[in-house]
């Protein structure tokens, strides 16, 4: 009598939970690109065009895509297309965790083939998706972030020449109790604290032994998938279902943790159970695909619907080869009751392979051999930069075309002089010969932090100090022996550049990949910090227009960085000082556009802007297709925090490119890079060194000289003679205006890299005459958002002449590190 009453009560409770469940305070459901509200899975997604959703969106262009002929669910028949960085901003009433769900279903709309879109998505704090290209029929990306400010801004940033899109999005409150601050672990390993600060991405949410559970049947609108695709050996497993018997105990799991349809089914060892198969001894294993270099949160859902009596079944659970729970006795966790919902949370160390496996197997202490699991959730934790973006799979450097053994890479050298560069270059040219196979073995050892072993063990690592924490985000550590082999023991004849950091060697890995190997000089001024910065930056930032880091070596106090080899050397070497053929205007524009894209990506793609700090033509490298890539991140700094407007720092950078405002105030913003880039633009146009002391006084400083002519409207007087008559006047005017704005005396008056990029693209179109310009139209109207204010250069004359004086006995100083020339003038922080 009593028991049937309580069963009734439990069923009623379950019914209650499913019907009403959690009532989210914040709930924004947006049907992107739709002009009407749409019902989807019993919920209404509002239009962001005319509906109440429109107030959340800020876009510069309004591209609504639709595909109403398709038979897809209505929310997937429309999308927003973003050709520029665009955001949704949602006011948050209740701070704390929120789901962000992004729905993608590509289709072709006009010229936008969404399966080709590549973009990043970020919030103010976290990068959610990087270089993402959703191609599947429908993909739903789910994130859970703790919102700590009154707004949540979700920004879509198209990459390169691509665009972004989204079909629908959800921002919904999550109950505070769903993910607590600590993820407990079994055994001696301890506890991972600080879950509250983590942004999480759902990798897998699996209902063991049961069917898919759709979002409508989950109180928090989660979707669960069956486990059969994850099982390594389905024969070893069998499923069981007793959904009606699931109980939730006060203080334990609730139906918000997982619904009865998850707890009520399980996958167990394929044994008869109850001792009929006493010698069974095997594991049931599920394998999940993960990204190297990230930590993962694992939630195991357990509910004993297998046993007939409590405290009889004990079993083992493993994550990879680590035993996370020996002789686990679920009964002891749930007051010796059967069929009672329970869960445990783990955080793994950084993954060092693409697989995480979860296994269950019998314990010798058990009354009978069996083991079961009801559900698994696997969530990715953000990395130390707050990013969830997959930067793990380091693509092999493009080896196509690298068989030609010509050219030179300057693997991004700080403080290298042009003279040395040219010597290095000529040296390499002389060494042109057939590629040798060095027969070394390229052993990729994934980076592990904490100096601990590489094994994937639970625990202890969390509390360890890290030896190379800046570099903890997945680059590849390469054994020193492989470095010796690749460079013939650092044979001097392979040196292709020398800089403040040390020497750059050309190397060949055993698979024939050409690489540039930069070996830090232990006594160099630029020490460990720049080494770490470079690894960290380049591991985090992967972009077509940023030079890729292939790996590094920090064995035996070495500081060695291995980069992709850039066949065509520096932009600078193609402009002057060598006998290379002159580049066409179109080629130059394309290079500028590529470099601008790389910088734009650095400035915008992560929650915090990254400032390069040493933008110059010697740091723009060209691959075999003359595609530009920005190099040398040794000086890079994360940009200002949200509440600050600048980073205060000792002046570093290169002579001739230095932002006068930065020099005066020692305050760094991304606009300092914009200034330096403006100098590069003039350098590209005029093909001369940025500082040339051999010239008459007023011509020494290129920026000053070019601005004088630009202001007179006679820039064509000083352009590279090779370009004379080959640049269309509109294109030149647009280019000159863009460079001029970059050189505005005050950072606030300079355009963003995004604007610069846009204007350079426009200059290219004008050159190609894609656009017919109305002769009456003042082209400066087209960049109306750019401030027209460009201040007179006289402010900086005093400074620049001091520089010229100091520097007058060198031919070209643009490569010389500021801190060297001005060690007397600028009090530089010791490094
Ligand atoms: C969110 O973060 C704040 C601190 O910024 C913390 O106090 C709060 O407990 C967190 N909420 C959750 C649900 O983790
Ligand atoms: C939800 O669950 C009920 C009962 O388990 C089932 O009949 C129904 O089809 C489910 N709904 C969806 C959308 O899966
Ligand atoms: C189950 O897997 C763990 C971890 O890989 C392993 O140590 C153990 O020997 C396996 N047990 C059986 C019975 O195969
Ligand atoms: C990951 O697991 C799959 C399937 O079991 C296997 O084919 C693959 O080799 C594994 N990869 C790694 C890196 O362990
Ligand atoms: C995730 O980002 C937060 C800051 O947003 C940071 O405190 C935390 O350490 C990061 N997590 C990991 C695993 O690095």
Q: For strand 43-47 and strand 27-31, is the pairing parallel, antiparallel, or unpaired?
A: parallel
Mean pLDDT of 807-815: 34
What token pair was written down for 502?
């040390």
The answer on pLDDT for 30 being more than 90 is yes
Residue owning tokens 């930590």: 295
What gap in Å lies between CA 204 and CA 223, rounded to an integer?
10
Torsion of CA 65, 67, 68, 74, to 10 degrees: -80
pLDDT at 634: 65
pLDDT at 720: 94
pLDDT at 314: 93
Tell me which DSSP letter residue 243 carries: G
What gap in Å lies between CA 147 and CA 125, rounded to an integer?
9
- The answer to whether 611 and 636 have CB atoms below 8 angstroms apart is yes
Ligand 2 pocket, 133 CB below 6 A? Answer: no
pLDDT at 741: 96
From the CA of 469, the nearest ligand is: 5
pLDDT at 554: 80
Look at 651 and 448; give whichever has higher pLDDT.
651
Three-state secondary structure string covering 136-183: CCCEEEEEEEEECCCEEEEEEEECCCCCEEECEEEEEECCCCCCCCEE
Between the CA of 387 and the centroid of ligand 5 the distance, in Å, is: 8
Fold exhibited by the domain 182-392: Jelly Rolls (2.60.120)
* Lowest-pLDDT range of 250-254, 504-508, 772-776: 772-776
DSSP string, 249-295: -TTS--TTTS-HHHHTEEEEESS-STTTTTT----EEEEEE--TT--
Mean pLDDT of 818-822: 31
- 614 flagged as catalytic: yes
What gap in Å lies between CA 646 and CA 637, rounded to an integer?
11
Going by CA atoms, what residue is nearest to atom 12 of ligand 3?
A: 282
Mean pLDDT of 55-61: 82
Q: Which atom of ligand 3 is nearest to the CA of 322?
A: 4
What token pair was written down for 576?
């002057």
Q: Which of 218, 554, 614, 812 is catalytic?
A: 614
Q: Which atom of ligand 1 is nearest to the CA of 146?
A: 1
The answer on pLDDT for 529 being more than 80 is no
CATH architecture of 571-820: Orthogonal Bundle (1.10)
Torsion of CA 632, 635, 639, 644, to 10 degrees: -160
The answer on pLDDT for 11 being more than 70 is no
The answer on pLDDT for 771 being more than 90 is no
Between the CA of 471 and the centroid of ligand 1 the distance, in Å, is: 27
Domain 447-564: homologous superfamily in CATH: Phosphorylase Kinase; domain 1 (3.30.200.20)
What token pair was written down for 793?
């250069």
- The answer to whether 690 and 656 have CB atoms below 8 angstroms apart is yes
pLDDT at 165: 95
pLDDT at 361: 95
Going by CA atoms, what residue is nearest to atom 3 of ligand 2?
A: 217
pLDDT in tens, 112-124: 999 999 999 999 9
Ligand 2 pocket, 399 CB below 6 A? Answer: no
Going by CA atoms, what residue is nearest to atom 8 of ligand 4?
A: 355
- Average pLDDT over the chain reads 76
* Lowest-pLDDT range of 11-25, 54-68, 132-146: 11-25
CA 657, 663, 666, 671 dihedral sign is negative
The answer on pLDDT for 86 being more than 80 is yes
pLDDT band at 360 (very low <50, low <70, confident <90, very high): very high
* Lowest-pLDDT range of 198-212, 461-475, 606-620: 461-475
Residue 403: exposure state from Cβ atoms within 10 A (0-12, 13-18, ≥19)? exposed
- Kindly list the protein residues whose Cβ atom lies closer than 6 A to any atom of ligand 3: 281-283, 318, 321, 359, 361
* Lowest-pLDDT range of 171-185, 478-492, 687-701: 171-185
pLDDT band at 450 (very low <50, low <70, confident <90, very high): very low
* Lowest-pLDDT range of 16-25, 475-484, 491-500: 16-25
Q: For strand 225-226 and strand 151-158, is the pairing parallel, antiparallel, or unpaired?
A: unpaired
Between the CA of 196 and the centroid of ligand 5 the distance, in Å, is: 9
Q: Which of 141-155, 331-345, 545-559, 621-635 has the highest mean pLDDT?
A: 141-155
pLDDT band at 94 (very low <50, low <70, confident <90, very high): very high
What gap in Å lies between CA 552 and CA 547, rounded to an integer?
14
Q: Report the percent of the chain where pLDDT is more than 90.
A: 42
Other CB atoms within a 10 A radius of the CB of residue 460 amount to 13
pLDDT at 605: 73
Going by CA atoms, what residue is nearest to atom 1 of ligand 3?
A: 283
Look at 789 and 92; give whichever has higher pLDDT.
92
The answer on pLDDT for 194 being more than 50 is yes
What token pair was written down for 821?
């020339």
In whole angstroms, what separates CA 208 from the centre of its chain?
Answer: 32
What gap in Å lies between CA 815 and CA 831, rounded to an integer?
19
pLDDT band at 826 (very low <50, low <70, confident <90, very high): very low
Q: Is 434 annotated as a binding residue?
A: no
460's torsion region: left (phi>0), alpha (psi -120 to 50) or beta?
A: left
pLDDT at 51: 67
pLDDT at 511: 75
For ligand 3, pick from 324, 356, 359, 457 the residue to mutate: most ligand atoms within 8 Å of CB: 359
From the CA of 244, the nearest ligand is: 2
pLDDT at 792: 33
Ligand 1 pocket, 148 CB below 6 A? Answer: yes
pLDDT band at 23 (very low <50, low <70, confident <90, very high): confident
Question: What are 302's strand-pairing partners?
Answer: 342
CATH architecture of 23-173: Sandwich (2.60)
* pTM across the whole model: 0.54
Mean pLDDT of 400-420: 29
* Lowest-pLDDT range of 13-27, 47-61, 134-148, 228-242: 13-27
The answer on pLDDT for 592 being more than 60 is yes
pLDDT at 390: 65
Which residues have CB under 8 Å from 258's CB, separation 6+? 224, 301, 341, 343, 374, 375
Among residues 95, 98, 72, the alpha carbon closest in space to that of 221 is found at 98
Instruction: Quote the radius of gyration of the chain (alpha carbons, Å).
Output: 30
pLDDT at 445: 23
* Lowest-pLDDT range of 62-76, 223-237, 731-745: 62-76
Mean pLDDT of 599-621: 85
The answer on pLDDT for 35 being more than 90 is no
Ligand 2 pocket, 241 CB below 6 A? Answer: no
* Lowest-pLDDT range of 27-41, 428-442, 715-729: 428-442
pLDDT at 67: 84
Between the CA of 350 and the centroid of ligand 1 the distance, in Å, is: 23
Q: Which atom of ligand 2 is nearest to the CA of 243?
A: 5
Please provide the size of the chain in residues.
Answer: 831
Among residues 355, 346, 332, 406, the alpha carbon closest in space to that of 376 is found at 346
- The answer to whether 25 and 41 have CB atoms below 8 angstroms apart is no
Residue 411: phi, psi to the nearest 5? -70, 55
pLDDT at 148: 93
pLDDT in tens, 266-295: 999 998 755 567 778 899 999 999 998 899
DSSP string, 389-430: ----S-PPP--TTTTS--SB-----TT--HHHHHHHHHHHHH
Q: Does 447-564 match 23-173 at the fold level? A: no
pLDDT band at 562 (very low <50, low <70, confident <90, very high): confident
Give the domain ranges of the chain.
23-173, 182-392, 412-438, 447-564, 571-820
pLDDT at 497: 76
What token pair was written down for 537?
């930056």
Mean pLDDT of 579-583: 90
Sheet holding 151-158, edge to edge: 57-58, 86-91, 151-158, 119-122, 127-132
Residue 808: phi, psi to the nearest 5? -65, -15
* Lowest-pLDDT range of 24-38, 427-441, 587-601: 427-441
Mean pLDDT of 84-91: 93
Look at 376 and 523; give whichever has higher pLDDT.
376
- The answer to whether 161 and 421 have CB atoms below 8 angstroms apart is no
Mean pLDDT of 429-455: 25
Between the CA of 219 and the centroid of ligand 2 the distance, in Å, is: 13
* Lowest-pLDDT range of 131-140, 468-477, 744-753: 468-477
pLDDT at 559: 83
pLDDT at 651: 52
pLDDT band at 768 (very low <50, low <70, confident <90, very high): confident
The helix (run of H) or strand (run of E) holding residue 552 is strand 549-553
* Lowest-pLDDT range of 25-29, 135-139, 220-224: 135-139
Q: Which atom of ligand 1 is nearest to the CA of 195?
A: 14
Among residues 60, 124, 119, 113, the alpha carbon closest in space to that of 90 is found at 124
pLDDT band at 310 (very low <50, low <70, confident <90, very high): confident
Q: Which atom of ligand 3 is nearest to the CA of 362?
A: 13
pLDDT at 46: 93
pLDDT at 454: 22
Look at 15 and 173; give whichever has higher pLDDT.
173
What gap in Å lies between CA 164 and CA 156, rounded to an integer?
7
Between the CA of 813 and the centroid of ligand 5 the distance, in Å, is: 41
Q: For strand 375-381 and strand 38-40, is the pairing parallel, antiparallel, or unpaired?
A: unpaired
pLDDT in tens, 706-742: 999 999 999 999 999 999 999 999 999 999 999 999 9
∠ CA 467-472-475, nearest 5°, is 120
pLDDT at 461: 24
The helix (run of H) or strand (run of E) holding residue 514 is strand 514-520
* Lowest-pLDDT range of 436-440, 610-614, 796-800: 436-440
Mean pLDDT of 656-663: 79
């Amino acid at each position: 009598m009593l028991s049937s009453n309580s069963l009734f009560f439990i069923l009623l409770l379950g019914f209650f939970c499913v019907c009403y469940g959690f009532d989210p305070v914040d709930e924004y459901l947006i049907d992107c690109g739709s002009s009407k509200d749409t019902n989807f899975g019993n919920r209404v997604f509002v239009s962001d065009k005319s509906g109440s959703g429109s107030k959340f969106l800020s876009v510069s262009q309004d591209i609504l895509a639709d595909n109403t002929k398709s038979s897809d669910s209505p929310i997937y028949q429309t999308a927003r297309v973003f050709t520029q960085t665009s955001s949704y901003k949602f006011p948050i009433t209740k701070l704390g965790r929120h789901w962000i769900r992004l729905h993608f279903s590509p289709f072709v709309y006009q010229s936008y083939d969404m399966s080709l879109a590549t973009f990043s998505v970020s919030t103010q704090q976290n990068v959610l998706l990087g270089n993402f290209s959703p191609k599947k029929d429908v993909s739903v990306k789910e994130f859970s972030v703790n919102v700590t400010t009154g707004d949540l801004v979700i920004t879509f940033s198209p990459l390169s020449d691509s665009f972004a899109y989204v079909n629908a999005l959800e921002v919904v409150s999550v109950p505070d109790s769903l993910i607590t601050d600590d993820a407990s672990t079994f055994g001696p390993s301890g506890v991972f604290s600080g879950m509250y600060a983590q942004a999480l991405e759902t990798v897998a949410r699996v209902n063991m032994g049961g069917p898919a559970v759709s979002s409508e049947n989950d109180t928090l609108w989660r979707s669960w998938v069956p486990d059969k695709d994850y099982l390594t050996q389905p024969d070893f497993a069998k499923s069981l279902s007793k959904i009606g018997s699931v109980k939730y105990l006060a203080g334990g799991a609730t139906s918000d943790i997982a619904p009865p349809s998850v707890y009520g089914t399980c996958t167990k060892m394929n044994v008869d159970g109850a001792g009929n198969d006493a010698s069974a001894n095997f594991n049931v294993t599920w394998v999940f695909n993960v990204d190297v270099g990230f930590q993962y949160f694992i939630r195991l859902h357990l509910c004993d619907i297998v046993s007939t009596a409590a405290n009889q079944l004990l079993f083992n659970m493993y994550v990879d080869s680590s035993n996370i729970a020996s002789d686990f006795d679920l009964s002891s966790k749930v007051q010796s009751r059967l069929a009672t919902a329970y869960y445990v949370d783990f955080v793994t160390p950084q993954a060092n392979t693409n697989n995480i496996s979860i296994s269950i197997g019998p314990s010798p202490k058990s009354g009978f051999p069996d083991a079961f699991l009801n559900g698994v959730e696997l969530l990715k934790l953000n990395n130390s930069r707050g990013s969830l973006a997959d930067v793990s799979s380091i693509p092999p450097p493009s080896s196509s075309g690298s068989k030609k053994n010509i050219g030179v890479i300057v693997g991004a050298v700080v403080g290298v002089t042009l003279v040395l560069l040219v010597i290095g270059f000529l040296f390499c040219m002389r060494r042109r010969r057939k590629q040798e196979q060095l027969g070394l073995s390229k052993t990729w050892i994934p980076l592990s932090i904490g100096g601990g072993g590489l094994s994937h063990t639970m625990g202890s690592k969390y509390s360890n100090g890290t030896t190379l924490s800046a570099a903890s985000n997945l680059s590849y550590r390469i054994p020193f022996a492989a470095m010796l082999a690749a460079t013939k023991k650092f044979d001097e004849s392979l040196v292709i550049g020398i800089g403040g950091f040390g020497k750059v060697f050309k190397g060949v890995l055993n698979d024939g990949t050409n690489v540039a190997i930069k070996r830090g000089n232990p006594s160099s001024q630029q020490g460990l910090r720049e080494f770490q910065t470079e690894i960290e930056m380049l591991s985090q930032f992967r972009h077509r227009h940023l030079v890729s880091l292939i790996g590094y070596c920090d064995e035996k106090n070495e500081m060695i960085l291995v980069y992709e080899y850039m066949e065509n050397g520096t932009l600078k070497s193609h402009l002057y000082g060598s006998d290379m053929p002159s580049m066409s205007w179109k080629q130059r524009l394309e290079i500028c556009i590529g470099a601008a894209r790389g910088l734009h990506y650095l400035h915008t793609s992560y929650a915090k802007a990254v400032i390069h700090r040493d933008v110059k033509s010697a740091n723009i490298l060209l691959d075999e297709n003359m595609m530009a890539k920005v190099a040398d991140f040794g000086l890079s700094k994360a940009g200002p925090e949200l509440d600050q407007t600048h980073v205060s720092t000792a002046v570093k950078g290169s002579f001739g490119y230095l932002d006068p405002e930065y020099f005066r105030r020692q305050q760094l913003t991304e606009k300092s890079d914009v200034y330096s880039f403006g100098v590069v633009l003039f350098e590209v146009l005029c093909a001369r060194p940025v500082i040339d002391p051999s010239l008459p006084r007023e011509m020494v400083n290129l920026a000053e000289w070019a601005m004088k002519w630009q202001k007179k409207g006679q820039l064509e007087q000083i352009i590279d003679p090779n370009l004379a008559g080959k640049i269309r006047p509109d294109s030149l005017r647009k280019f000159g205006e863009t460079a001029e704005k970059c050189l505005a005396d005050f950072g606030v008056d300079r355009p963003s890299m995004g604007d610069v990029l846009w204007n350079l693209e426009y200059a290219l179109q004008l050159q190609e005459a894609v656009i017919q310009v109305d002769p009456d139209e003042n082209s400066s109207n087209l960049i109306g958002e750019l401030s027209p204010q460009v201040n007179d250069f006289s402010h900086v004359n005093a400074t620049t002449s001091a520089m010229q004086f100091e520097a007058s006995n060198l031919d070209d100083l643009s490569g010389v590190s500021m801190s060297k020339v001005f060690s007397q003038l600028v009090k530089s922080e010791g490094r």
